[in-house]
Amino acid sequence: MQIFGVDIGGSGIKGAPVDLDRGDLAQERFKVLTPQPATPDGVADSVRQVVENFGWTGPVGLTFPGVVTGGSTIRTAANVDKDWIDTDARALFSERLGGLPVTVVNDADAAGVAEVAFGAGRDRRGTVILLTFGTGIGSAVFVDGVLVPNTELGHLELHGHDAETRASSKAREDGDLTWEHWAHRVQKYLAHVEMLFSPELFVIGGGVSRKSEKFLHFIDGIQAEIVPAQLQNNAGIVGAAMRAAKESR
C-alpha cells in the first residue's frame, strides 16, 4: 500500500509516495525550498508543487513544524510565519490540492511514529524520545510505544535560552561551530531532557542523523542509550503517510 507523505520544514519541503509495508519511500523524494516568509499561502503552494510533481491523486499526509491540535489547527509557529497560528491547516491544504483528503501532524511526532514502527525505536519499551535537529529542535515522546503528542521540547529553557537557539543544526551552521563544540551543546541539552524524563533511549533525527559519526562520540555523561534515526531525514515523510493511512481507513 502506498500513501503520499510531505515533510514541511523551516528550510525545505519534501515529499514522496511511501510504501507502508516496508516503511520506506516508494520513489525518490522531491524537494523544494520553503518560501520566505513561510506564510500559509506560500507553503501551501509549495506543497502543491511537490504533490503535483508525482501526479498524486490519493490521500496526503503532511507534517508541520509546530503544535497541531485536533488534527488540523496550528497552535505554534516558531520557525515559520506567525500567520499560521489558528490556521485550519487541513482545510487549507485540501483546498490547494484540489480536494484531496489531507492529514496534518506535528513534524517530530511523525518522524517518531516512523522510527518506532520501522526504525531505531522499534520494539523498545519504556520511555523513548526522538529529537530532530534541524532549523529548530523537534521532539517526540513515547511511553511503551504510545505517543505523547506535541511535546515541543526544543523550547525548553537551557541556561537562559530557548534550547533550539543553542543546539539546533541551524545554530551549529549559523555559529560556524565545530562538530565537537556543537556536540557539547547537544550534550547539555540531552542532560536537561534526561533529568526531566529519564528515558531509556534517545533517537537523534533530522539531517544530522546522516552524519552521526561526526558528533555522537563526543557526547558522554548521558545514562540513556543514544542512537541515530535509522530512517534518517525521510522519517517525517514516512510518518506523515502512516498517519494519513490510519485516518483513511
CATH code of the domain in which 93 resides: 3.30.420.40
Do residues 160 and 210 share a domain?
yes
Do residues 98 and 9 share a domain?
yes
H-assigned helices in 40-178: 40-52, 89-96, 107-118, 163-167, 169-174
Interval 126-138: pLDDT, tens: 999 999 999 999 9
Do residues 15 and 39 share a domain?
yes
Interval 156-185: pLDDT, tens: 998 899 999 999 999 999 999 999 999 999
**Is 163 contained in some domain?**
yes
pTM of the predicted protein model = 0.95
Distance CA 208, CA 215 (A): 9
Do residues 99 and 188 share a domain?
no
- Burial readout 112-132 (b: 16 or more C-beta within 10 A, e: otherwise): bbbbbbbbbbeebeebbbbbb
Q: And the C-alpha cell for 132?
A: 530532530
Domain count, the chain: 2
Interval 25-44: pLDDT, tens: 999 999 999 999 999 999 99
Domain limits at 158? 123-229
Do residues 197 and 243 share a domain?
no
**Is 114 contained in some domain?**
no
pLDDT at 142: 98
Interval 187-226: pLDDT, tens: 999 999 999 999 999 999 998 999 999 999 999 999 999 9
**Is 115 contained in some domain?**
no
CA distances from 93 to 66, 98, 167 (A): 16, 9, 31
Quick one: which H or E segment has residue 203?
Answer: strand 201-205
Do residues 97 and 180 share a domain?
no
